[in-house]
Structure 1
Amino acid sequence: MNYRIVHTSDIHVWDFPVNPVLWVGKRTLGLGNLILRRARKFRKEQLLNLAATIEEDQPDHLVLSGDVSTTSLSSEFEKIHLAFQEWLGDPRSATVVPGNHDRYTQWAQRRRLFDRYFGNTTHNEPYPMIKNLTRGLDLIGFDPCRPQPISARGLAKLSHIKSLRRIVSQIHPDETKCVIFACHYPGEVPREFLRFEKGHEMVNARLVVKSLAALHCPVYWLHGHIHYPWRYPSPTASNVVYLNPGAPLLKRKTGISFGRWILDWDGVDVTAEWKSAPNSARELVDFG
């Protein structure tokens, strides 16, 4: 058998709200940053080309690990939903977990805007949630994202960690041979990138890592948040590997990467390969 997962993250589609009410509060800061920096760097006009590239990868399952939007506007979520509608209609075909930009404001959080568009991909279950993808392969979705006044920190609530431990304890080694863990934040960051984590880390991350370390099988932690692609084996949990695709629409000197991880499951092992536009291949930092 062969089952293919394509994972990308941090697409950061952006838009300017027409309604002036939506410019107040934290979004004012976000839109100011957008005007000065992000609008030039994140090439939203390439969104449909990214979707077409992923379609050529022929995934059985698409994972978007957060920050599909920039300031959690409905118009931003709509663009993502339209671009990936081929997969988003069926939870067997896609999993979308939120990033901090998708829980950007209290206003968006109260209205559960992200969940309206993508909640069906996690069966509208509370996080953490688990679903079986195919024989021997399970996926756990985790959401530590909360609207914050200034910082981009996430918080793994102790109640969520307790729920995660319960899920882990119920995974049977005879049935599950590998686990995909979809969470916007990494639990650990390579030393070379620690400078990007200050004010951006997930609080209680070590407890999440410790929970996953109790599993009998390999865990592939699919995340984003820091806009550089890497493969990073956990230094504290021997069964955990972090896969960060980078930001696929972020324009760098090498161009736009369309970066994504291709994970092929053969019923026994996962083979993971980072794919990108040819001129961006050197971006990947492989610690594995």
Structure 2
Amino acid sequence: MNANKALWEKGDFTKLAETMRESGSALVGKLGITPGLNVLDLGCGDGTTAIPAARLGANVQGVDIARNLVEAGNARAKAEGLTNITFREGDAIDLHDIEDETFDLAVSVFGAMFAPKPFDVAKEMFRVTRKGGRIVMGNWIPGDPTLVAQILKVSSAYTPAPPEGFISPMLWGVESNVTERFVAAGAAKENISFERETFTFQAPYPPAVFLETFRKYYGPTMNAFEAAEKNGTEADLQRELEALFESQNQSGDENTTSIPATFLKVTVVR
């Protein structure tokens, strides 16, 4: 079993994606998408950015490694009557069934960054994007004080050491690493640019319930709690994350959640 596939099929990321819809649409709205544009969304989940792109008239191909998320994405598209989008299973490190220079825009927001071979990810994204097209990634930033980087940091302290050769997905949030990967794929350094932007998680329930959503449905957090339960530190992990979620909530209402998280927006012009 592909370990990355197992991780993302383990929970049900759609439960978290429900809190990401508004920011996903806002991000897509700034990408200059026009009707007829051919768009790849890599690591698309159930369509947080893919479906807004299709609503704007783009022809969208969503690719994700998790079968349950692909099925959920196709169901969402069907429910909305969108005929210009399809979701299918695929691996960001090997898009062998996609021809060179197929897409005008290749997008991956908190998706392909989790694939285990980052140089292969950059190579494939670059390969399938046409000359003059763009690649846009949204990646979490290591050491950032906002929510997701801190969740992953806290969780890693409670889980066993990763296997030898493991490359942290968070390195996609380091500009020098991103540049190295895309230059190796064939990009010109001057065609790679970076911005820091904010993605806000919005939920109609308190931060403690939002934490439970991560605990029950988000693969990395599920693994952390399973490991902590085995070594008797589950209560410590729970307390640490509860404090994090409460302190980050900016909704102004203890019964709702609004937590911003900073990410690195990468743009590569092919």
Q: TM-score, normalised by structure 2?
A: 0.37
Q: Which has the higher helix share?
A: 2
Q: TM-score, normalised by structure 1?
A: 0.35
